[in-house]
Structure 1
Amino acid sequence: MDRIAAAFSLLIDRPVSLYAAAVLRIGYGLLYLVFLLREFPYRDQIWGPGSPWTHALAEQLFDQTGWASVLTLSDSRVYFEVCYAAAVVTSALFMLGWRTRAVSVLFAVVVASFHARAIFMTDGGDNLILLMAVYLVFTACGRHWSLDARRARLRAATARGARLPLGAGAGDLLHQLGDARRTLITVLHNCGMLVIAAQVCFLYGSAGLYKVQGGTWGDGTALHYALNLDLFQPWPALSQMVAGHDVLITVACYVTVLLQVAFPFVLFGRLKYPVLVMLLTMHVGIAVLMGLPLFSAAMIVADAVFLPDRFYRFLGRLWRVSVRHAGARGTAASPRLTSAPVPTQAGPAG
């Protein structure tokens, strides 16, 4: 009973992992912004009127799956270009944390629309970004490291000591409404962060259990075959060099399966930190060796939800100290015009 009361208190008392939510917002906003800019030259062939997957085919699929996309509301090229520009601006604003409550909804609509319009042009990272975009709508991901946070600080500094007098009844009502709003936001945020963490655990656990059922993962040859696929060879020479180390490949196969299966069970101890480091190494290897940077980056950002806020606060302090020292060194290195004495001018000979 005490544990239930403690869990309920944690759910409604204060929002948890606010810095982690900010990292997720910045990470996925930046990822999708880079993704849209990277595909800008090919936007018409992927999502636009010139795509082989036409509007008619997309709408037929929507009738079967129940999906929807704002991109199929019109077949006009001008409309598509406006939607694409709006998607780029929305991703940038979401990353910066401007009016995060409203922009997070627009960002989820953008990701869902582009994902649904080209459902066969994904690599797995798009699916995860779509899920996270929906989950982040319910979180208070703009509380830190955002333009909203900066505006709130400035507003608090301006309004300090300048409160308007209110009647007792009106003041009590506003206080109660404010408490109810804060409680609702806290509950939604905590539930959203819990769902995000559960989604990542489910992803790793199911991937590990799926690999256990495969014969190539059991005998340690799965990565060897993956490295020899032309589709996943951005640098063939590097892939061939790595594939030539049979023992290393076998060990990597077993370690990958072990990490993914064990991940949900190590989250409540300090063992999760070395596991997260090893998963980071694994995702970097996937990005470099298999040419899947979007998928790897999406997974790395998702893993950030398991790092405590004290870690991010430490990074923030470290960043501020580094910037301060860099500014001090720049000031010391710049020439000072008044540092040298001005020589006295000799008067005219008398």
Structure 2
Amino acid sequence: MGSEQNPQPPSTATPHRPATQETSIAGTAHRWLLDQLGALWALLTDRPISPYAASVLRIGYGLLYLVFLLREFPHRDEIWGPGSPWTPALAQQLFDQTGWNSILILSDSRAYFELCYVMAIVTSALFMLGWRTRAMSVLFAVVVTSFHARSIFMTDGGDNLILLMALYLVLTACGRRWSLDARRTRLKTAPAGDAPEPVRSLSAQQLQDARATLTTVVHNCGILVIAAQVCFLYGSAGLYKIQGPTWGGGTALHYALNLELFQPWPALSHLVDEYPMVIAIASYVTVLLQVAFPFVLFGRLKYAVLAVLLGMHVGIAVLLGLPLFSGAMIVADAVFLPDRFYASLPRLWRRVAQRTVVSPSVPARPAGSGCVPPQGRPVAPGSMHGAVPARKDATPATRLVSEQS
């Protein structure tokens, strides 16, 4: 038998990709990565983002903590003072475990505590007004931290968010809008608007530019951290709710409304509880909005979500008696509104104020007084200019023009 040649199987190897194509793909990915890094760097360094929102946070949390301190003024000794059940010795034992600290336990003197309380009220007011905001933001963070740590078991959960926001606001330039600092800067620059700028040396100019860039980067990072904190808060709260049977069954709000600890107006709580369908819908909407909140921030749907969340927090404040928590959440949501919204508020306020001003009523013109003799020079005989019809409410400039015509 003759030798038979075995047929070779067809090659299944994939064709080798040309090196130029791989280089082109790698170059495209490299350029895309550089573009993204450049866009991120420009976002952090070009200009401060959301200066109006930062000012709203400053005003909101300063006012909220000021009202909180004034409301608890009659009970200050039982909550934070020397007469508190949570004594300074117990607080010190807790600080040894947690690493916290408070200026309130530096002395057991009642005079020292009263001085600290008054200084806390003054600091909150000055921080809200934006007076020396850089220094006041640090002092406000110290005040909130000290009062929060002194009696951590004596208050509700609203001050937890205020504590975080007070620490974050130290990083931001929250006094550039709607503050006494901004007013002082505007008054200083107004007279020197036409004056030539002073000539600076190269090193001084570079130092000033570096300082401005560093301030912008720190401010933008602070704003982004605040936004991330709020997103994490809503997302984690929604994911935690869906793990329990009460929120999935739509009965969670029913149980909350029947807790005596959260019934500032029992009659109102019982009235709302008589509508189980409304309770169930509110439970489902709450979970849905909290879970979806981080994913709707880059579209116009966020405005509707923020409006519903505003109503939800108002309901929590009224029905459950948690105004501090609701106020802290409402102020935190303000960071997601654009600056053009806040910049339009003064114009909208002026427009509404102009419409509400009642204009003085013009007296009715008596019958037969449509023409009055011209004022000023006498009319020459035979002149074509006769009596000029005039209104009683005509201004002197209008009458002068009509006389000279």
Aligned partners of 1:89, 1:296: CA distance in 2, in Å? 24
Q: Percent identity?
A: 74
* 1:217 maps onto 2:247 in alignment: yes
Aligned partners of 1:132, 1:89: CA distance in 2, in Å? 19
* 1:260 maps onto 2:290 in alignment: yes
Aligned partners of 1:65, 1:228: CA distance in 2, in Å? 35
Name the structure 2 match of 1:345: none
Deviation at 1:160, TM superposition (A): 3.1
Q: Which structure dedicates a bigger proportion of its chain to helix?
A: 1
Name the structure 2 match of 1:203: 233
* Letter aligned with residue 46 of structure 2: D
Aligned partners of 1:305, 1:295: CA distance in 2, in Å? 17
* 1:84 maps onto 2:114 in alignment: no
Say which SS state the counterpart of residue 308 (structure 2) adopts.
Answer: helix
* 1:3 maps onto 2:36 in alignment: yes
Q: Deviations over 1:123-154 (max 9, x none)?
A: 21100000000000000100000000000000
Aligned partners of 1:171, 1:329: CA distance in 2, in Å? 57
Aligned partners of 1:213, 1:112: CA distance in 2, in Å? 32
Distance change (3 Å), C-alpha of 1:89 and 1:276: same
Name the structure 1 match of 2:339: 309
* 1:67 maps onto 2:100 in alignment: yes
Deviation at 1:320, TM superposition (A): 3.4
Say which SS state the counterpart of residue 119 (structure 1) adopts.
Answer: coil
Name the structure 2 match of 1:228: 258
Deviation at 1:324, TM superposition (A): 5.5
Name the structure 2 match of 1:99: 132
* 1:128 maps onto 2:161 in alignment: yes
Deviation at 1:319, TM superposition (A): 2.1
Deviation at 1:244, TM superposition (A): 1.1
Aligned partners of 1:165, 1:117: CA distance in 2, in Å? 50
Structure 1: which 5+ runs fail to align? 334-338, 340-350
Aligned partners of 2:246, 2:274: CA distance in 1, in Å? 17
What is the number of equivalent residue pairs in this alignment?
A: 329
Pairing of 1:309-328 with structure 2 (within 5 A): 309-323=339-353
Q: Pick one of 265, 277, 282 that aligns with 1:247.
A: 277
Aligned partners of 1:324, 1:142: CA distance in 2, in Å? 29
* Letter aligned with residue 239 of structure 2: L
Q: Pick one of 189, 192, 197 that aligns with 1:156.
A: 189
Distance change (3 Å), C-alpha of 1:293 and 1:164: closer
Name the structure 2 match of 1:47: 80
Aligned partners of 1:70, 1:198: CA distance in 2, in Å? 30
Structure 2: which 5+ runs fail to align? 1-32, 362-392, 394-405
* 1:119 maps onto 2:149 in alignment: no
Aligned partners of 1:23, 1:160: CA distance in 2, in Å? 28
Name the structure 1 match of 2:326: 296
Distance change (3 Å), C-alpha of 1:230 and 1:165: closer
Superposition TM-score, scaled by structure 2 size: 0.79
Aligned partners of 1:283, 1:124: CA distance in 2, in Å? 14
Q: Deviations over 1:167-201 (max 9, x none)?
A: xxx52222111111110110000000000000000
Q: Deviations over 1:90-139 (max 9, x none)?
A: 00000000000000000000000000001002221100000000000000
Q: Pick one of 41, 56, 59 that aligns with 1:26.
A: 59
Distance change (3 Å), C-alpha of 1:49 and 1:315: same
Superposition TM-score, scaled by structure 1 size: 0.91
Say which SS state the counterpart of residue 238 (structure 2) adopts.
Answer: helix
Say which SS state the counterpart of residue 186 (structure 1) adopts.
Answer: helix
Q: RMSD between aligned alpha carbons?
A: 1.6
Aligned partners of 1:7, 1:85: CA distance in 2, in Å? 44
Name the structure 1 match of 2:308: 278
Aligned partners of 2:293, 2:348: CA distance in 1, in Å? 29
Aligned partners of 2:208, 2:270: CA distance in 1, in Å? 62
Aligned partners of 1:236, 1:28: CA distance in 2, in Å? 29
Aligned partners of 1:165, 1:276: CA distance in 2, in Å? 47
More displaced 10-residue stretch of structure 1: 172-181 or 63-72:
172-181
